């Protein structure tokens, strides 16, 4: 609501310039939404004459009493939220005023929320700048995740997370805003909250499209915000494009349903860097249960870990010194993503290949090699134990959930596409006999950013065909002393 | 987005739900040509056509080489589309549709519902771009008969005649009778509209075991519909103008109905 970029032809007349709201004087209109208007406000003759705020008017006049009640409810949620939370990543609510204007029925009873003045919304930024520089997108997403992790940690769900509600301050920092649909998680169970049946179609998770409506509204869980974050990750790296195809929001909603039903793979744009691709895929896990494994706190930890490691994996800069090399890398990634989805391992557990040229190989490999170089004579019975970096998959390894299965390649030098995967899947904890290793195969990066060009040729259990396949070294913690494959 | 519902009026009635991107073939069928929707009439081809869900609507393909199919909008005052022979993927814009295949007799037909049609919220700026606006996640066609039924159900509470009473099905039929769109409206149709609203449009949680003593399930459903439609502003005072003006007799009937409870 507070970020619409359209010209405000119809809105300018609503509240005259200079109109007083508490200690504030109304200035330029900022935004106009279906439910309210946002104006700039300046301190009216106080000591801090330069202070600038945003005044969000939620008018109740001209509405049926029940609709007005709904708006007051929304304003109450927002100011309640503002009073109880304070965080550098959330827009600050400074005050709220109820207008008493018996002579001006259109304003009488309106609720005005006085908030920090932001410069523009993320949506406006994406619309005017198109593609952001890598570093900026990464910083914005990290800050969004910080705000979300705090919000969820306090037991709240945002409920309407989208680029319009991500505001940029004058110093470039991020504030989450528009808490009109935010709700506190249910006190007894703490798993969900209830909000009115409102939402922005492009950011609703698949389960919301079929969510039943009760007297308290619809149920939302923090995983709904995580889904919206996944959409925004994609948008930030693609100049605002949704990962789901379709000309209209309804079309994209249908594409979300097709994806959730397993009838279409998730096709992320190749412009999304590998690390963020993994993160977005987890945020866009098709079910609440799969998504719940990735809390905002976990995602933030992953971002922190990746940014702190060798060559900042969050920007992809450590692995892509030249634009040409990077473009080649991206093409490979597309193939890998499609293969994964077709291989029924959508969601949590998948991995992807990056790079393909020497320049693209990271420093991670060298360490792995060093451990192996010593062992040249292979003992006859070397084994590797499959390791899944997803904790949930490790905890639930006994269930052998399809979403936790990992793939094996037919050829470690070829692109990891659907044609290059054996039908046999493996799970965390599986022990496979290792025959030999290939130290210079296609580089593989796992979900937390560990890379390696090393592969092990393993024998598959039972009478699987083919009987042998290749496991990327990032999929095991073992470093068996096997010789280089002939 | 819940896809489309296909309803075959045969004995026993068959209802098929298709999700986004799914396909159902229809025709007479045979061992070598299985179809999801069997239309048992010698004049219908083994594979007469197919329905594919796309976005919030559906596409009709006509596999016949000689016959056109008609797609009627039962609420559109005679509005229909003709899908010529061999046409592939004709988009059907109706929320309610009846597909009619020509036969010797009166024709074979089945119904297709597309409850996902999206409408912008009322009350927004007229004719201005709306961007990525927050919308009511349950959008209703205010020109559809089901919306009239919903307004009629909400009327007593909107007029503050009674905080409790929800009109019965016969009362709704009576109330809407003089509306040009509802001259043929039957009690059965009103019940079907109520079910459609509750199950497909608003997806209401039936008030399960709140009052186990009062068995009438549809009654509970009607009350839940009214409660939710009013609580979330889906129906407001402004919608009362959609209803025909009340004659004194009709107003009296509603009051009598209220008094009986």
Region A52-69 average pLDDT = 69
A215 and B203 within 8 Å at the Cβ level: the answer is no
Using pLDDT thresholds of 50, 70 and 90, give the confidence band for residue A259.
very high
Q: In this structure, are residues A305 and A450 in contact, taking their beta carbons and an 8 Å threshold? A: no
Q: What is the b/e burial string over A454-485, where b = at least 16 CB atoms within 10 angstroms of the residue's CB?
A: bbbbbebeeeeeeebbbbbbbbbebbbbbeee
B124 and A163 within 8 Å at the Cβ level: the answer is no
pLDDT at position B52:
95
Q: Which residues contact A444 (CB under 8 A, 6 or more apart)?
A: A351, A352, A353, A354, A416, A451, A452, A453, A455, A472, A473, A474
Q: Give which of B124, B131, B126, B135 is closest to A124, Cα–Cα.
A: B131
Interface A-B: count of C-beta contacts within 8 A: 141
Q: May I ask the CATH class of domain B4-113?
A: mainly beta
Res A60 pLDDT > 90: no
**Closest CA–CA distance from residue A162 to any residue of chain B (Å):** 9
A chain contacts of residue B133, beta-carbon cutoff 8 Å: 1, 4, 33-34, 200
In the structure encoding, which two tokens stand for residue A133, read together? 């520089």
Region A249-259 average pLDDT = 90
Q: Does B20 touch chain A (CB under 8 A)?
A: yes
**Closest CA–CA distance from residue B166 to any residue of chain A (Å):** 16
Q: Give which of B192, B205, B120 is closest to B149, Cα–Cα.
A: B192
For the segment A173-199, what is each residue's pLDDT rounded down to a tens digit? Answer: 999 988 777 777 776 667 778 777 778
A64 and B236 within 8 Å at the Cβ level: the answer is yes
Q: What is the mean pLDDT of chain A?
A: 76
pLDDT at position B103:
85
CA distance A86 to B155: 44
* Neighbouring-strand partners of residue A37: A32, A57
B128 and A10 within 8 Å at the Cβ level: the answer is yes
Within A318-422, strands assigned E span: 352-353, 382-385
The domain segmentation of chain B, as residue ranges, is 4-113, 145-260
pLDDT at position A243:
96
Region A113-120 average pLDDT = 88
Q: Does A184 touch chain B (CB under 8 A)?
A: no
Query: Residue B69 — φ and ψ, nearest 5°?
Result: -105, 150
Highest mean pLDDT, choosing among A215-219, A228-232, A476-480: A228-232
Of the candidates A123, A200, A217, which has its C-beta nearest B135's C-beta? Answer: A200
**Closest CA–CA distance from residue A403 to any residue of chain B (Å):** 22
Q: In this structure, are residues A283 and A294 in contact, taking their beta carbons and an 8 Å threshold? A: yes
**A 264-283 residues with CB < 8 A to B:** 264
For the segment A293-345, what is each residue's pLDDT rounded down to a tens digit? Answer: 999 999 999 999 988 754 556 665 433 333 333 333 333 333 333 333 332 22
Q: What is the DSSP string of A89-155?
A: TBPPEEEEEE---TT-TTTTT-EEEEEEPPSEEHHHHHHHHSSPPHHHHHHHHHHHHHHHHHHHHTT
Say whether A385 sits in a helix, a strand or coil: strand
Region A75-95 average pLDDT = 78
Q: Give which of A306, A283, A305 is closest to A294, Cα–Cα.
A: A283
Q: Which of the residues in chain B have pLDDT under 70?
A: 1, 122-134, 136-137, 162-163, 205-219, 247-261
Enter the ipTM. Answer: 0.78
Task: Report DSSP state, residue A381.
Answer: -
Q: Which residues contact A374 (CB under 8 A, 6 or more apart)?
A: A481
CA distance A121 to A129: 12
A200 and B224 within 8 Å at the Cβ level: the answer is no
Mutate to test the interface with B, among A213, A246, A250 (most CBs of B within 10 A): A213
- How many CA atoms lie within 13 Å of A426's alpha carbon, on the beta-carbon side? 29
Does the predicted model carry a pTM greater than 0.90? no
CA distance A233 to B170: 53
CA distance A183 to A189: 14
Task: Work out the number of other CB atoms within 10 angstroms of the CB of residue A396.
Answer: 17
Q: May I ask the CATH class of domain A20-117?
A: alpha beta
Using pLDDT thresholds of 50, 70 and 90, give the confidence band for residue A168.
very high
pLDDT at position B131:
55
What topology is assigned to A121-319 in CATH?
Transferase(Phosphotransferase); domain 1 (1.10.510)
Residue A311 Rama label (left phi>0; alpha psi -120 to 50; beta): left
A213 and B124 within 8 Å at the Cβ level: the answer is no
Of the candidates B121, B129, B137, which has its C-beta nearest A34's C-beta? Answer: B121
């Amino acid at each position: 609501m507070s970020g619409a970029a359209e010209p405000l032809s119809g809105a300018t007349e609503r509240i005259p310039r200079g109109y007083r709201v508490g200690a504030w004087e109304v200035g330029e209109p900022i935004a106009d939404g279906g439910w309210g208007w946002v104006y700039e406000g300046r301190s009216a003759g106080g000591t801090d004459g330069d202070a600038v705020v945003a005044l969000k008017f939620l008018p109740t006049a001209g509405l049926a009493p029940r609709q007005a009640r709904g708006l007051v409810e929304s304003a109450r949620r927002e100011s309640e939220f503002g009073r109880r939370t304070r965080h550098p990543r959330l827009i600050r609510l400074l005050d709220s005023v109820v207008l008493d204007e018996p002579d001006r029925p259109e304003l009488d009873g309106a609720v005005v929320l006085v908030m920090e003045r932001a410069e523009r919304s993320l949506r406006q930024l994406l619309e005017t700048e198109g593609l952001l520089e890598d570093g900026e997108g990464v910083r914005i997403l990290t800050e969004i995740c910080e705000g979300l992790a705090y919000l969820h940690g306090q037991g709240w769900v945002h409920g309407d997370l989208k680029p319009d509600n991500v505001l940029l301050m004058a110093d470039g920092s991020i504030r989450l805003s528009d808490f009109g649909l935010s709700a506190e998680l249910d006190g007894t169970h703490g798993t969900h909250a209830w909000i009115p049946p409102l939402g922005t179609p492009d950011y609703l998770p698949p389960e919301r499209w079929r969510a039943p409506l009760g007297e308290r509204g619809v149920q939302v869980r923090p995983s709904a915000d995580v889904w919206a974050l996944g959409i925004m990750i994609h948008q930030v790296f693609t100049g605002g494009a949704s990962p789901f195809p379709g000309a209209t929001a309804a079309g994209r909603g249908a594409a979300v349903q097709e994806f959730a039903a397993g009838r279409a793979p998730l096709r992320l744009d190749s412009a999304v860097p590998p690390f963020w691709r993994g993160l977005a895929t987890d945020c866009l896990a098709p079910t609440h249960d799969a998504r719940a494994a990735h809390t905002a706190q976990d995602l933030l930890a992953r971002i922190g870990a990746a940014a702190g490691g060798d060559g900042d994996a969050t920007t992809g800069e450590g692995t892509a010194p030249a634009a040409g090399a990077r473009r080649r890398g991206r093409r490979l990634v597309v193939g890998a993503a499609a293969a994964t989805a077709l291989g029924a391992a959508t969601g949590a557990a998948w991995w992807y290949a990056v790079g393909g040229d020497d320049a693209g190989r990271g420093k991670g490999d060298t360490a792995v090699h060093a451990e192996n170089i010593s062992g040249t004579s292979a003992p006859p019975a070397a084994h590797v134990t499959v390791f899944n970096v997803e904790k949930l998959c490790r905890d639930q390894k006994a269930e052998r959930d399809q979403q936790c299965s990992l793939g094996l390649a037919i050829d470690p030098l070829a692109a990891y596409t659907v044609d290059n995967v054996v039908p046999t899947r493996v799970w965390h904890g599986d022990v496979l006999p290792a025959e030999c290793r290939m130290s210079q195969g296609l580089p593989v990066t796992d979900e937390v950013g560990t890379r390696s060009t090393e592969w092990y040729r393993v024998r598959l259990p039972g009478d699987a065909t083919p009987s042998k396949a290749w496991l990327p070294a990032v999929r095991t913690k073992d470093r068996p002393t096997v010789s280089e494959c002939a | 987005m819940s896809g489309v519902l296909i309803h075959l009026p045969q004995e026993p009635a068959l209802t098929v739900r298709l999700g986004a991107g799914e396909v159902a073939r229809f025709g007479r069928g045979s061992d070598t040509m299985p179809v999801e929707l069997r239309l048992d009439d010698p004049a219908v081809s083994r594979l007469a056509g197919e329905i594919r869900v796309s976005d919030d609507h559906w596409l009709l393909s006509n596999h016949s080489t000689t016959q056109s199919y008609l797609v009627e909008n039962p609420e559109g005052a005679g509005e229909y589309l003709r899908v010529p022979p061999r046409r592939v993927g004709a988009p059907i814009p109706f929320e309610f549709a009846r597909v009619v295949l020509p036969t010797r007799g009166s024709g074979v037909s089945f119904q297709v519902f597309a409850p996902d049609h999206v409408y912008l919220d009322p009350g927004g700026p007229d004719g201005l771009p709306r961007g990525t606006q927050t919308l009511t996640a349950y959008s209703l066609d205010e020109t559809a008969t089901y919306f009239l039924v919903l307004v009629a159900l909400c009327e007593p509470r909107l007029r503050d005649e009674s905080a409790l009473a929800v009109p019965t099905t016969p009362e709704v039929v009576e109330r809407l009778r003089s509306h040009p769109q509802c001259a043929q409206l039957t009690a059965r149709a009103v019940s079907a509209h109520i079910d459609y609203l509750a199950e497909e449009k608003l997806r209401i949680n039936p008030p399960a075991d709140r009052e186990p003593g009062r068995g009438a399930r549809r009654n509970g459903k009607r009350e839940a519909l009214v409660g939710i439609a009013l609580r979330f502003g889906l129906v407001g005072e402004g919608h009362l103008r959609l209803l025909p003006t009340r004659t004194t007799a009709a107003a009296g009937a509603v009051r009598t109905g209220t008094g009986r409870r």
